[in-house]
């Protein structure tokens, strides 16, 4: 089988296409023929060395495909992500993968294989932040930074599905994400705008997909007792007024999708599948790349700016 591999850290050009033996599933494992595999910004960072993955390594976290053997599940269409893929173990940017059967979730009927491969990390992060860690309730107001990004768009869909109102924040007033209101973080004061949009109360919950300079403004946008979920930070070190924090009785929770176990990922995907099949959730727009053009696809992801999910598809 063919697989993309990197032997040294650096840009997308570090990846090379190689031939590997077809993996053989063990007890309670499945062999999956990969039909499509999504590329996330974290995959680009992985090749650059941000996660100190052992080398050589096949990158990639998200996939969709068909089980060809193992656990009596032959012919089943599956999707998902998995713990350690692309970092602690070889990932999904290859033609076949082996994993425990319990880590392979059944693909929702409403999504084709390329769409299913585009869900993975962004929706896992959004669900883990809003639903698992944030305990989002119907009728609450959610603040989402990085609203136009993949995680932000996923979070806004999930929040609306769960009956919440969403205030998005980004670097313009443009609102492709479908948030109920939008704050331009370049020209507007976030805490003031959030309070103006919530009758002075503040947001109940915030999913901060940016961090860094936005960390404290997000914290100051919460109501008393509000919850902030941190999933990113650039730069890594931030500061905030601890007196305001504890007088506000606020909650700060970190979420890391790389810390999710395989069965926990499948459980989240099962919840998401209901939303897609009911039409409450819709997949992102996709730019499909032939599997052999992974380097160019990685370069497009690294460049950013396009509101599409880049997916490698097998021919």
Could you report the per-residue pLDDT of 255-296, keeping only the tens digit for each?
999 999 999 999 999 999 999 999 999 999 999 999 999 999
Residue 202 falls inside a structural domain: yes
Is the residue at 263 inside a domain?
no
CA-based end-to-end distance of the chain: 13
Q: pTM for the complete prediction?
A: 0.95
Residue that is last in its domain, among 256, 272, 297: 256
For the chain, what percentages of helix, strand and coil (3-state, to nearest 5) are there?
30, 25, 40
106 shares a domain with 170: no
Q: Coil, strand, or helix at residue 254?
A: strand
Residue with tokens 């309730």: 137
pLDDT band at residue 52, thresholds of 50, 70 and 90? very high
In a domain, 267, yes or no: no
| Those residues with Cβ within 8 angstroms of residue 173's Cβ, 6 or more apart along the chain or in another chain | 182, 184
Same domain, 115 and 44: yes
Q: Are residues 174 and 223 in the same domain?
A: yes
Q: Are both 104 and 149 inside the same structural domain?
A: no
Domain count along the chain: 2
Asked if residue 277 belongs to a domain, the reply is no
* Confidence bin at 82 (pLDDT 50/70/90): confident
Assess whether pLDDT exceeds 80 at residue 149. yes
Name the residue among 127, 314, 103, 94 with its Cα closest to residue 229.
Answer: 127
pLDDT in tens, 150-194: 999 999 999 999 999 999 999 887 777 899 999 999 999 999 999
Q: Hey, which bits of 70-115 come out as E strands?
A: 77-80, 96-100, 105-106
* Shared domain check, 23 and 74: yes
Helix orientation angle between 120-127 and 262-278, rounded to the nearest 10 degrees: 90
Asked whether residue 261 is assigned to any structural domain, the reply reads no
Answer yes or no: do 126 and 214 share one domain: yes
State the residue range of the domain holding 197.
Answer: 122-256
**pLDDT tier for residue 22 given thresholds of 50, 70 and 90:** very high
216-220 mean pLDDT: 96
Say whether both 30 and 56 belong to one domain. yes
What integer is the mean pLDDT of 78-98?
95
Final residue in a domain of this structure, among 256, 275, 302: 256
The answer to whether the CB of 247 falls within 8 A of the CB of 76 is no
Q: Are residues 85 and 142 in the same domain?
A: no
Confirm whether 159 is domain-assigned. Answer: yes
User: Is residue 130 located within the same domain as residue 244?
Assistant: yes
Do 214 and 190 meet the contact criterion of CB atoms below 8 Å apart?
Answer: yes
Same domain, 105 and 147: no
Indicate the average pLDDT of the chain.
96
**Measured distance CA(12)–CA(24) in Å, rounded:** 29
Residue 274 lies in a domain: no
The CATH number of residue 115's host domain is: 3.90.180.10
Q: Are residues 240 and 138 in the same domain?
A: yes
Domain identity same for 244 and 181? yes
CATH number of the domain at 218, please. 3.40.50.720
Q: What is the pLDDT of residues 184-216, one digit of tens each?
A: 999 999 999 999 999 999 999 999 999 999 999
Residue 45 resides in a domain: yes
**Which residues, in sequence order, are bridge partners of residue 292?**
none
């Amino acid at each position: 089988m063919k697989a993309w591999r990197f032997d040294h850290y650096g840009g997308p050009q570090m990846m090379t296409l190689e031939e590997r033996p077809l993996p053989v599933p063990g007890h309670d494992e499945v062999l999956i023929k990969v039909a499509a595999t999504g590329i996330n910004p974290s995959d680009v960072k992985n090749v650059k060395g941000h996660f100190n993955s052992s080398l050589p390594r096949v990158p990639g976290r998200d996939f969709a495909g068909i089980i060809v053997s193992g656990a009596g599940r032959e012919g089943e269409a599956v999707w998902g992500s998995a713990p350690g893929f692309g970092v602690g173990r070889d990932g999904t940017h290859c033609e076949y993968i082996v994993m425990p059967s319990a880590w392979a979730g059944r693909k929702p009927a409403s999504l084709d294989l390329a769409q299913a491969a585009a869900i993975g990390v962004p929706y896992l992060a959004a669900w883990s932040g809003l639903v698992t860690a944030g305990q989002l309730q119907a009728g609450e107001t959610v603040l989402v930074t990085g609203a136009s990004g993949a995680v932000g768009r996923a979070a806004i869909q999930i929040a609306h599905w769960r009956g919440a109102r969403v205030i998005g924040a980004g670097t313009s007033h443009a609102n492709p994400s479908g948030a109920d209101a939008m704050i331009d973080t370049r020209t507007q004061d976030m805490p003031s705008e959030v309070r103006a949009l919530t009758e002075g109360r503040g947001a109940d919950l915030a999913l901060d997909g940016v961090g860094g300079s936005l960390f404290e403004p997000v914290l100051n946008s919460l109501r008393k007792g509000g919850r902030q979920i941190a999933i990113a930070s650039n730069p890594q070190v931030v500061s905030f007024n601890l007196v305001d924090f504890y007088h506000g009785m606020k909650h700060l929770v970190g979420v890391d999708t790389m810390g999710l176990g395989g069965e926990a990922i499948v459980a989240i995907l099962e919840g998401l599948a209901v939303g897609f099949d009911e039409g409450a959730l819709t997949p992102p727009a996709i730019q499909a790349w032939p599997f052999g053009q992974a380097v160019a696809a990685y370069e497009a992801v690294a460049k950013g700016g396009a509101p599409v999910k880049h997916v490698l598809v097998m021919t």
